[in-house]
Structure 1
């Protein structure tokens, strides 16, 4: 894959609303840009932890254990469902991040199917000459897109005088529930 095509595919995938992006935007809305950007390294670390080993040897492993991908999708659906329920029930104090922590962002990103797509489809194999360049571009893209989601949440914060409305939190919970249903459906139909 050419570098420009790779970047376009990575940005298209990373910009798509998903569980990690929802948490980043929610944190930006709850705490503002300055505090929410602290979550971005957790997202990057999780993406690298999943994507790099998959790019290096993932295709061979999934060929040996075809049900592994299905189990990963089901685990991701379960995790996103838990997040949706917690977001729906949680009442955050104004100006706090609530339950959006670096740990939660890290685990959510580990379970995010985007990491599988990046590692198995978009990144070149680990031994390819373009692997280091594409890996660096991917890492920079993760941070840039995370910054956009945190910034979008922070803009919402400005519009709501610093308080994260229950409606926004519940809308995020509903979106996560839709994603969880989609993940479960994809896992069960595979």
Structure 2
């Protein structure tokens, strides 16, 4: 896969709405663009925690342990479900606070099923691994900036008001719950 093809594949997958993007969008709506961008190192660390080992030895390990991929998928589903419940249960009065922190973004990203695809399929290379990882990191930052900007626009458009943030959190909660259900179905082979 050429660097241009890799960039296109990674970009398409990163742009897909998922748990990490939902949290970055919500952070942008709560904190504004600059505040959300301060969380991006946590997202990068989460991705690299999963992607690096998978890229270096993941295919061999998963080939020898069939249940491991299922276990990772179900763990991701459980974490996303926990996030959905936490967002749903936040009271309206807490709407002025910030529901997305570096820790939740880090864990969510480390368990993001997209990391499996990046680490096992797209990034491994015998001759261009460093280039692939640098390209991946740059695209992660760029896409996170885009999702944070969308959240910041929502913030400026009135989504920063307590009631609007409450509704946005509820919508994010429903979206995360749907992702969790899909991951559970994938994990059990449905």
Aligned to 2:38: 38
Aligned to 2:122: 122
Q: 1:64 to 1:148 in 2, by over 3 A?
A: same
> Could you list the per-position Cα deviations for residues 113-164 of structure 1 after superposition, in whole angstroms to 9, with x for gaps in the alignment?
0111100000023xx1111111100000001101111111000000116325
Give unmatched runs, 5+ long, in structure 1. Answer: none
Q: 1:7 to 1:74 in 2, by over 3 A?
A: same
The 3-state SS of whatever aligns with 2:38 is helix
Count of aligned positions: 187
Aligned to 1:82: 82
The 3-state SS of whatever aligns with 1:63 is helix
TM-score, length basis structure 1:
0.94
Q: Does the 8 A contact of 1:30 with 1:163 survive in 2? A: no
The 3-state SS of whatever aligns with 1:129 is coil
Q: 1:3 to 1:84 in 2, by over 3 A?
A: same
Q: Distance in 2 between matches of 1:18 and 1:36?
A: 17
Aligned to 1:2: 2
Deviation beyond 4 Å, 4+ runs, structure 1: none
Q: Distance in 1 between matches of 2:113 and 2:168?
A: 24
Give unmatched runs, 5+ long, in structure 2. Answer: none
Report the alpha carbon displacement of residue 2 of structure 1 after superposing the two structures with TM. Answer: 1.0
Structural mapping, 1:29-68, within 5 Å? 29-68=29-68
Report the alpha carbon displacement of residue 95 of structure 1 after superposing the two structures with TM. Answer: 4.3
Which of the numbers 147, 152, 155 marks the counterpart of 1:154? 152
Q: Distance in 1 between matches of 2:64 and 2:52?
A: 19
Q: Distance in 1 between matches of 2:170 and 2:158?
A: 15
